[in-house]
Structure 1
Amino acid sequence: MDGYAIGLVCDKCQKDYDIRQAVNTCPSCGGLLETVYDLPRLKKEIVFSKLQTTGNTMWRYKDFFPYIEEKNIVSLGEGCTPLVKSIYLSRELGMENIYFKNDTMMPTGSFKDRGFSLAISFAKDIGVKKGFTYSSGNAGASFSAYSSRGGFHALVLVEYLASDTKKAMIKLYGAQTAILDFENFGQISVMLEKAVSQLGLYQFVNFINPIRHEAMKTYAYEIFDQLGGLVPDYMFHPVGTGGGLWGAWKGYNELKALGLTDQLPKMVAVQPETSCHLKKAFQKGARVAGQYGDPAKTIAQSIAADSPIQGGTRVLDAIYQSGGMALGVSDQEILTAMRILGKEGIGAEPSSAAAVAALIQGVKNGTVSPDATAVCVITGTALKQSRAVEMAAGQPQLQVDADIGSLAKIIDSLHI
């Protein structure tokens, strides 16, 4: 078999599984499965450089994924998004090297497209024809789009807290959709884990699906390439389940294992202050996060959860291993960050802007040095939550009549 992925291994019991086995969590103990690669062979046979890695989507890095035949790849042009250097926030914070990884420009408007392009493609390659996922909105839209494109039978369970726009977008892309009611996120986790053993239907939920987060390694590869072979000091990432942060951390570690860099970034997990279970665990030095907060009390829908899948151990491991941190941000901090990103030319939904809010908080409280290089991942477009845009920006108040005299007066009053 072609490719460098050699198997799946369980986080808990360390049992190995065939990479092409259609499994979600470990059949033996229920632990999370991780893809393992033959990195020495990869290092020997692949030269990682802009010149020898071609294409303008994340599939330019397909050698760093589990092997998939070309005919089974389902792509809509995801990945290789711009890394935008800040102008306004840099001036405000006195910090020269702030960058925004702009995944609002993905096919369905969010970073979820990386994971579902890979996960749906891999499922097709191993003969899986149907499946389901749970979503706060963005994942459901992405799963729906890539499933429809790939001829895959899909069911999306979208939480009732999601905006009407997000719910409608899932249906627009074609998946069967059901609104999920629940009392807390622990209840959802139990349901999803029981579904593995009792229903036998292949899942695409982050981490329960062992392939999806592999696509998030491309954050590390792209940023490394876009910074001219450098690694940032900090990477700020909004966290729901945490697949984006964990995948990026894995990618940076692969770059180091391949001898391409000896630097690793500090990984910063960002959540709403109203439900920041990772921050609470981090403050106590805990390796497992418990239930905390109320996810209904924030505008950051996509990252609002009162408990993580299997205690958030992977995300906490990445934080501790990297010397990073977990932060919580308020809605007011998020709205301020949305306005700043707007001036930078990026329309971000609240959850995305949370990464910028956390950077501002970190610089102002002294935990992030102004001399550092920081990348904030902007995970989803503002168009997903139009009401939040109105909260951040408001509606125009000025009026002008359609005559030259009226236009002249307003131009003069605005000193344009």
Structure 2
Amino acid sequence: MSADASLPPPLHVVTPLVSSVPLAKQLGVKAVYFKLDALQPSGSFKMRGIGHYIAKYCQAHPNLQTVVSSSGGNAGMAAAIAGVAYNCKVLVYVPNSTPLMMIERLKAAGADVIVHGSVWDEAHAEATRFVASQEEGSAVLVHPFEGEDLVDGHSTLVAEIAEQLPQGIVPDVVVCAVGGGGLLSGILKGLKSIYHGKHRLPVVIGAETEGARSFALAVETGYPVPLPGGITSIAKSLGALQVSARVMERRDTYGAPNVRPLVVTDAQAVRGLVAFADEFRILVEPSCGAGLAACYLPETLKSVVPEINSASVVVVVACGGSMVTTELIEKWRETFGV
């Protein structure tokens, strides 16, 4: 939660942290925990950062009338729920790769949806142009993964994990999906705030799919660069062509060797989300499945964290996602033979 008592109560909820004894045995570690942010009102962790960002903006700009989002879906859903909660009109700009199902869900949440461009970057540019044309303070563009207020909101996830873990337990590894870098930034900020100077900092794994590997590419080159060939993965909500420069800076201050990319195939991401659904009866999208694959397919995690052992504690952020149905999961299973 925000430390600012003048803000209204947060729109996100405290989500469960649950352990998986079978998975800990499979991985050969002491414990595996899942942070179930798929249970947020918007269906994903985005509710944390975007809800907090809009609350702060409303406080500073009483004349706010319109909340604008550019999104592959999940950020737009969080913006729709938050904007409606604060009595604002909500406009969501999405690329034409956004599934019709997601567009209908955004509309049902109270948003007006504008389809523009073929990738997120193009939808975002059009949303930026609209806000610039409005009276100052009357419209706000909520970036899907940039901004300190947004990152502060996401960092509440780490504060909850620290409170929910058994007394004296500090995670050795934290796994999350990474698209533009907002969640990863929040996790790094939260972990450093809570554990720096008191405990060793956990290794943090940013997982993504082959066709959306913008974070891995930034680590390889040393700075963010556009993904050649665009997004080719089914994990559409990982679809930022380039990660945030800020997340790379935060990686350096956290300790770059301890913030590592993990790239999985679309098939592995689907295996991860199917295994997670079988164990916890919760549906998540392939972007989240990229992080889940790190544990459900043990060789993937061990390839980037070879130092894990029988004393290790692993926390995986089940970040959720709105772009999933039972029909889509069956389609993915058939496509990839899962």
TM above 0.5, yes or no, is yes
Identify unmatched segments of 5+ residues in structure 2: none
Q: Retained in 1: the 8 A contact 2:102–2:323?
A: no
Aligned residue for 2:150? 212
Give the Cα separation in 1 of the matches to 2:224 and 2:168.
Answer: 35
1:276 maps to what in 2? 213
Q: 1:94 aligns with which of 12, 17, 28?
A: 28
The answer on 1:301 being equivalent to 2:236 is yes
Q: Could you report, residue by residue, the CA deviation over 1:133-169 in whole angstroms, capped at 9, with x for unpaired residues?
A: 1111011111101111110222111222222222111
- Residue 292 of structure 1: aligned partner: 227
Give the C-alpha shift of residue 197 in structure 1.
6.5
Kindly tell me: are residues 159 and 231 of structure 1, through their superposed partners in 2, closer, same or farther at Cα, counting changes over 3 Å?
farther
The alignment partner of 1:99 has SS state of strand
Deviation at 1:387, TM superposition (A): 4.1
Shift of 1:344: 1.7
In 2: Cα distance, 1:356 partner to 1:127 partner? 39
1:18-75 deviations in Å (ceiling 9; x for gaps): xxxxxxxxxxxxxxxxxxxxxxxxxxxxxxxxxxxxxxxxx3xx32xxx2525x4453
The offset of 1:331, in angstroms, is 0.8
Aligned to 2:314: 374
Separation in structure 1 between the aligned mates of residue 199 and residue 28 of structure 2, nearest angstrom? 27
Distance 1:267 1:319, change over 3 A: farther
Q: What is the alpha-carbon distance in structure 2 between the residues aligned to residue 155 and residue 107 of structure 1?
A: 19
* Bigger radius of gyration: 1
Q: 2:176 aligns with which of 195, 215, 237?
A: 237
Kept in 2, the 8 Å contact 1:108–1:145? The answer is yes
**Contact 1:136/1:301, CA 8 A, preserved across alignment:** yes
How many residues of Structure 1 are paired with residues of Structure 2 in the alignment? 323
Q: What is the aligned partner in structure 2 of residue 180 from structure 1?
A: 116
Counterpart amino acid of 2:106? I
Q: TM-score, structure 2 length as denominator?
A: 0.84
Q: Distance in 1 between matches of 2:191 and 2:33?
A: 17
Q: 1:264 to 1:376 in 2, by over 3 A?
A: same
Does structure 2 conserve the Cα–Cα contact (< 8 Å) formed by 1:245 and 1:315? no
Structure 1 position 351 matched with structure 2 position 287: yes
* Aligned pairs (5 A) from 1:190-269: 201-227=139-165, 228-256=167-195, 261-269=198-206
- Cα deviation for residue 316 of structure 1 reads 4.3
Contact 1:299 1:388 (8 Å CA) reproduced? no
SS across alignment from 2:142: coil
**What SS does the corresponding residue of 1:141 show, helix, strand or coil?**
helix
Question: Which of 69, 81, 105 matches 1:169?
Answer: 105
Q: CA RMSD of the aligned region, Å? A: 2.8
Indicate conservation of the 8 Å contact 2:93/2:114, yes or no: yes
Structure with more contact order per residue of length (Cα contacts < 8 Å, sep ≥ 6)? 2
User: In structure 2, do the counterparts of structure 1 residues 363 and 192 end up closer, same or farther at CA, with 3 Å as the change threshold?
Assistant: same
How is 1:4-403 mapped onto 2 (pairs within 5 angstroms)?
59=1, 62-63=2-3, 67=4, 69-70=6-7, 72-73=8-9, 75=11, 78-128=12-62, 129=64, 130-182=66-118, 187=122, 201-227=139-165, 228-256=167-195, 261-284=198-221, 286=222, 288-294=223-229, 296-310=231-245, 313-314=248-249, 316-317=251-252, 320-321=255-256, 323-345=258-280, 346-359=282-295, 360-365=298-303, 367-368=305-306, 369-371=308-310, 372-381=312-321, 384-392=324-332
- Normalising to structure 1: TM-score of the pair? 0.69
Q: SS where residue 131 of structure 1 aligns?
A: strand
3-state SS in 2 of match to 1:338: helix
What is the SS of the residue equivalent to 2:263?
strand
Residues 179 and 215 of structure 2 are in contact (CA less than 8 Å); yes or no, is this contact kept in structure 1? no
Counterpart amino acid of 2:39?
M
Distance 1:272 1:195, change over 3 A: farther
- 1:254 alignment partner AA: S
Superposition deviation, residue 120 in structure 1: 1.9
Q: CA deviation at 1:222?
A: 0.9
- State the identity %: 24
Cα distance in 2 for residues equivalent to 1:149 and 1:366: 41
